[in-house]
A and B are shown apart, each in its own frame.
Chain A
Amino acid sequence: MIPEDLRYTSTHEWLRVDDDLATIGITDHAQEELGDIVYLELPEVGSTVTAGHVFGSVESVKTVSDLTAPVSGEVLEVNEELTDSPDLVNEESYGGGWMIIVKMEIPSEVEELLTPEQYEKFVEEQ
């Protein structure tokens, strides 16, 4: 199930917009592909991320994958719970498994992202 209130990237991140704040995580499809997640490398609060650039990585038992920022801005919050419970990303990829909250610099970047319908089609075609 792909939540309808989010936007997506072709690298399987999701984004939830609340005014100029964006909460970012990875999709259920992404966590399924990675398998059991054991470590996350996330940016620090106060650092900036740039749309289309790597902002961290997620490591599963089998493999490691980059995290790509859907939008640009300053990191306001990092999900500290993931340090001890990285498996939240597997279990609640759209909820408790969120990764960072960004104060968007260029809110119009959201328009470039995939809609739920587009992302669903993208995953099916892969």
Chain B
Amino acid sequence: MKRTTLYDTHVRLTAKIVSFAGWDMPLYYTGIVHEVEAVRTAAGIFDVSHMGELFVSGTEALALVQGLTTNDSSCMEIGEAQYTLLCDDNGGVIDDLIVYRTDETEYMLVVNASNVDADYEWLQQHNQTSAVCDNRTEAMAIIAVQGPKSQEILQQTANTNIGDLRRMRSVIARIGDASCRVARSGYTGEDGFELFCRAEDSVRIWDRIMMAGESSGITPCGLGARDVLRLEVGYPLHGNEITRETTPVDAHLMWVVKPDKGDFIGREAILNAKASGPKHALVGLSTNERAIPRHGQTVIVAGRAIGSVTSGTFSPTLGRAIALAYVEPPYAEIGSKVDVDIRGRSCACEVVKTPFYRPGIPTQAIANK
């Protein structure tokens, strides 16, 4: 099992450690409910160094990115970040990722921990350009600081005015004496930042931010809280909502597919899927029962299986269960009544709008493109 450079820090903080995608990672420190609340009301700090960083560089770096991913990266400024997808020939989603333009001819692809090796292999196999791919996952660490107080906390540690940083933009800054890329982005729906640094600097940066945030209530958060936070705001998780069996059409991700930019792997299949309509649709489910639909459970209408739950949890912010599920298109309308088979018992659910929860992000943090 691999360990991030912050592993000893997590142990010192008495985290409950679980293995995830080949890494020993903190599931929670004090408890998921407390950690979620901290991010929604103050700030949380996360070690997400298990995520992968694949660098693409060279004069044809953009051509490689454009040919393999679905979004249009051609107009990105240096420092800009963009959500995009890596798809196969069938339009199935190999991974979802954030691409950062880190230099004139360099892009950093931040990918899911479970998919680093598959993505890297895919990139190399399908590289028909002179661009070079480099997997720097183990040399780098990522620390996320998320929540309404994240700017005020991080500013105390940074040498540049991070308040000027717009959402999905990044700059190189110093946190204490360590240099890192500070991006205004995250996976929680809150205002927040993700810091990309050298692995050996991660402990110093973490400690510096913890010190600065102590009086504001900064709270170390594990993967448990991270999963709940993303689900509350309806963000998909690769492996659950998006897989190689689902297309961007199914997952309502056509906003990151730009067929007009030119050819890319999966373009034709995605256009065909769009023309024929989704086979199944991703929806939000809510229930008034004291039960929680979970990943893999069957969605039923009138005794017939019409879909399955992809993610489900108790939402501490809303005080009730929330879930995402794929259902047959006729049942995808808001207000549809469906049942979920929860361990042999039928639980009455309703199709609801997502996000389940919408954080109040300060307007200056939202990109005005």
Binding site for B on A (CB under 8 A): 32, 35-36, 38-39, 41, 57, 59-64, 87, 90
Contacts and interface: CB of A to CB of B under 8 A. Distances in A.
Given A35-B16, A35-B27, A36-B33, A61 B316 contact: yes
A62 B291 contact: no
Contacts of B31: 35-36, 90
Contact of B224 (A35, A38, A87, A90): A35
A39 B343 CA distance: 15
Contact of B33 (A32, A61, A63): A61
Contacts of A61: 32-33, 224, 228, 313-314, 316
B142 interface: no
Contacts of A38: 33, 292, 314
Contacts of A41: 290
A62 B316 CA distance: 11
Nearest to A86: B290
A57 B294 CA distance: 14
B107 interface: no
Contacts of A35: 16, 27-28, 31-32, 224
Nearest to A66: B343
Contacts of A36: 31-34, 316
A17 B48 CA distance: 47
Interface string B27-69: 1100111100000000000000000000000000000000000
18 contacts: A35-B27, A35-B31, A35-B32, A36-B31, A36-B33, A38-B33, A38-B292, A39-B314, A41-B290, A59-B291, A59-B292, A61-B33, A61-B228, A61-B316, A62-B27, A62-B32, A64-B294, A87-B33
Contacts of A87: 33
Contacts of A64: 292, 294, 343
Contacts of B313: 61-62
* Interface size range of chain B in the complex: 10 to 19
A56 B290 CA distance: 13
Nearest to B294: A64
B29 to A, nearest CB: 11
A57 B343 CA distance: 11
B319 to A, nearest CB: 9
Given A36-B32, A39-B291, A39-B292, A62 B224 contact: yes
Nearest to B28: A35
B33 to A, nearest CB: 4
A59 B313 CA distance: 10
Contacts of A62: 27, 32, 224, 313
Given A38-B33, A61-B228, A61-B313, 20 more contacts: A32-B16, A35-B16, A36-B31, A36-B33, A38-B292, A39-B290, A39-B291, A39-B314, A41-B290, A59-B314, A61-B32, A61-B33, A61-B224, A62-B313, A63-B294, A64-B292, A64-B294, A64-B343, A87-B33, A90-B31
Interface string B286-329: 00001110100000000000000000011010000000000000
Contacts of A32: 16
